[in-house]
Amino acid sequence: MVDSSLEVKNYGILASGQGSNALSLIVKGLEFGRPPQFVILNRDNSPLIEKAENLGIKTYFLESTLKGEDLDFEARVLNLCQVHQVDWLFLAGFLKILSGPFIDHFNNVGFSQILNIHPSLLPKYPGLGGYKKAYKNNDPEFGHTIHLVTKGIDEGPILLQKVIPTNSNWSLEDMVAVGKKIENNSYALVLETLLKNGLSWDGKQAQLTWVIDVK
């Protein structure tokens, strides 16, 4: 049985898209006096690049393949992690499959030190299109899940899950707007909790489930 705990020393962020979650992590990290060591983007058209740089965060654009694993991209990420002594990664809208060896690299004490935010109530709707699927299926509730990244896609141990009641008057765009705003708060709260407490795990998934009231 695994019995381990770990503090967060240095962390980095990997992002691809609009970057609202990455920005929320950066703002929380700065507020806490513990900003990320870097943000890595694999898309050069993200508005996050300018926003992160304006906040004084080191930003790297590393080109990657669009689909599948990209071992060359991963080697460049690992090199930057070594340079900046980064031992935790936050995936924030990062559109890339990570290879098993890359994930293993961040699994030193029995659990993964890579976090992800996924826009559905896992195990419902893994993969792409979480909001769209909840909307199309008229789900009475939707939400997001923050979990540790393991080799199974969107399968890792859950740190926080936020359930949001659906309003039947909403369009899909309304649902995404409401959902993403709360995602941003949730991810920042998880970062704050990790920076304060680190993560401890006695080998049971339940031990990782925090009861946090996210507004």
Indicate which single residue of 10, 18, 99, 207 sits in contact with ligand GRF (rule: CB under 6 A). 18
Cα 129 → chain centroid:
16
- Residue 93 interacting with ligand GRF (CB under 6 A): yes
Alpha-carbon distance of 30 to 78, in angstroms, equals: 24
Q: Are 166 and 142 in contact (CB under 8 A)?
A: yes
- The answer to whether residue 156 forms part of the interface with ligand GRF (CB under 6 A) is no
200's tokens: 């401890």
Q: Give the phi and the psi of residue 19 in degrees, each rounded to 5.
A: 90, 20
Cα separation, 152 vs 144, in Å, equals: 18
Q: How many residues bind ligand GRF (CB under 6 A)?
A: 14
Other residues' Cβ atoms within 10 Å of the Cβ of residue 15: 27
User: Within 13 A of 209's CA, how many CA atoms are on the CB side?
Assistant: 7
The token duo for 63 is: 């080109």
Residue type, 14: L
Q: What is the DSSP letter of 207?
A: G
CB of 109 to ligand GRF, least distance (A): 26
Q: Please, which residue, 113 or 145, has the CB nearer to ligand GRF?
A: 145
Is position 51 an interface residue for ligand GRF (rule: CB under 6 A)? no
Return the amino acid letter for 85.
Q
Residue nearer to ligand GRF on the CB measure, 102 or 187: 187
On the question of a cis peptide bond just before residue 47, with omega within 30 degrees of 0, the verdict is no
Cα separations in angstroms, 202 against 128, 147, 197? 31, 16, 15
Supply the minimum distance, in Å, between the C-beta of residue 136 and ligand GRF.
Answer: 16
CB of 201 to ligand GRF, least distance (A): 23
Is 92 a binding residue for ligand GRF by CB under 6 A? The answer is: yes
Q: Which is nearer to ligand GRF, 92 or 122 (CB)?
A: 92
By beta-carbon proximity to ligand GRF, the closer residue of 15 and 194 is: 15
When binding is defined by CB under 6 A, the residue of 21, 59, 64, 166 that contacts ligand GRF is 21
The contact mask relative to ligand GRF for 157-186 (x = CB under 6 A, - = no) is: -----------------------x--x---
Per-residue contact flags (x/-) with ligand GRF for residues 111 to 130, judged by CB under 6 A: ------xxx-----------
Nearest approach, Cβ of residue 22 and ligand GRF (Å): 6
Using CB under 6 A, list all residues that contact ligand GRF: 17-22, 92-93, 117-119, 144, 180, 183
